[in-house]
Every structure is written in C-alpha cells, then in structure tokens.
Amino acid sequence: MNEKDIDKIVKTLKDANQPKSEFVGLMDSFNDPYLVLIACILSLRTNDKTTYPATLRMLKLGKTPSDFAKCDEKTLSDAIYPVGFYANKAKQIIGLSKEILEKHNGEVPDTIDELVKFRGVGRKTANLVVARGFNKPAICVDVHVHRIFNRIGYVKTKNPEETEFALREKLPVKHWIDINTLIVTHGQNICKPQKPDCANCPINKYCDKII
C-alpha cells in the first residue's frame, strides 16, 4: 500500500461506522482509567462475548480501587467467571487496586512505564489505559491491529510489540487514540483472521492482501 493513504484509510473506516461489539462499546464509554484498566485485564485471552457480561457483573461489585482492594477474592472470581484465568485475574485486580491505593494515592498512573510495573499488565493494556483512560496519544496493539496493519502492507512485523513500535514510527499521532477501536471493529466484522470479507471491505483498494 501507499503509506500516504493512511489518512484515507482511517477516514474510510470512521465513515463506514461498522458495528462495535458490546464490549468495545463499553470500553469506549469509560472515561475512568481505572475502569479501562480492570476491564482490559478481564479481556485478555477472552473473547468479547464472554468479557462483556463478566465486566458488567464485576462493576456491580465496585468501580474504584477502594472497592476492589477490600473485595473478597472468591466473590470477584465468581463474578468474572468464565473469563480466561478468572481466578488469577481476580487476585491480580485486587492486588493492583491495593497497590494503586498504597503507592499511587489512589490514582492510576498515566504513563506506560509506570503501568507495566503492575503484575500482569503488559504494553497492550498500558497503551489502552493511556489512550482511552487519559485521552493521551498511545497505540494499543492487539491481534487485530497486528494482523491488519501487516495484511494491508503498512508494516512488516512478527508480533504485536514490534507492530506497536513500528506504528509509533510511521502512524501520524493524530490517529493513535482512535486506531485500536477502528481496527478491532474492522477485524471483528470484515478483516477476520480466516476468510476475510474482501468483497465488502471499505478499504479493499488500499490493501496489499498479505495473508
């Protein structure tokens, strides 16, 4: 693809207004970095259809670090079941909630370097918290973002972390915050891992179709 077409691709995807999964819509509605953080933890290695109702059940138990720092581990574990590794995630959320209270005065850090210090928080989660929670430029790269940017020929990378740093070099900063939601939604609707629906793809003419 022509790298200069990236602005057209982003605009086309925005104009296409493809339906978001309920979980992606919920994440986009959050304006609290803590909620973005704990919901993203639930989503790791779990599909959106499972994560969405689990997140709603979790939010009935609380919405702040104080709420979850004192939450019973089994109660939280039962609430978020059957997300992947639900017992470990319950323990993780309670632990990081205590750490936020004890080491960060109850406020979620707003930098990737600080966020990845929490146990189990990687760059994908940290970037999403910075972008969605703080509305600061950051590039959250999941399997959809990694796959699609390689498929269209914008980057040539081997894994999501390589993709993140390649995009930091090439992708205009004005697109960083919105790119995850746009690409994830496109990946869930059209540009799927197997048998992508190229005939109905709004950005088909820009794509190198590297499968």
| Nearby residues of 174 by Cβ (< 8 Å), 6 or more positions away | none
32: left (phi over 0), alpha (psi -120 to 50) or beta: beta
User: What pLDDT, on a 0 to 100 scale, did the predictor assign at position 103?
Assistant: 97
* Residue 205 main-chain phi, psi, to 5 deg: -70, -15
Do the beta carbons of residue 79 and residue 58 sit within 8 Å?
yes
pTM greater than the 0.85 cutoff:
yes
Q: Which two tokens stand for residue 112?
A: 């990737």
Reference 129, options 39, 52, 49; nearest CA is: 39
Number of other residues whose CB lies within 10 A of the CB of residue 32: 14
- Alpha-carbon gap, residue 157 to 42, rounded angstroms: 27
User: What pLDDT, on a 0 to 100 scale, did the predictor assign at position 211?
Assistant: 80
For the chain, 211 residues long, give each residue's pLDDT as a single digit of tens: 999 999 999 999 999 999 999 999 999 999 899 999 999 999 999 999 999 999 999 999 999 999 999 999 999 999 999 999 999 999 999 999 999 999 999 999 999 999 999 999 999 999 999 999 999 999 999 999 999 999 999 999 999 999 999 999 999 999 999 999 999 999 999 999 999 999 999 999 999 999 8
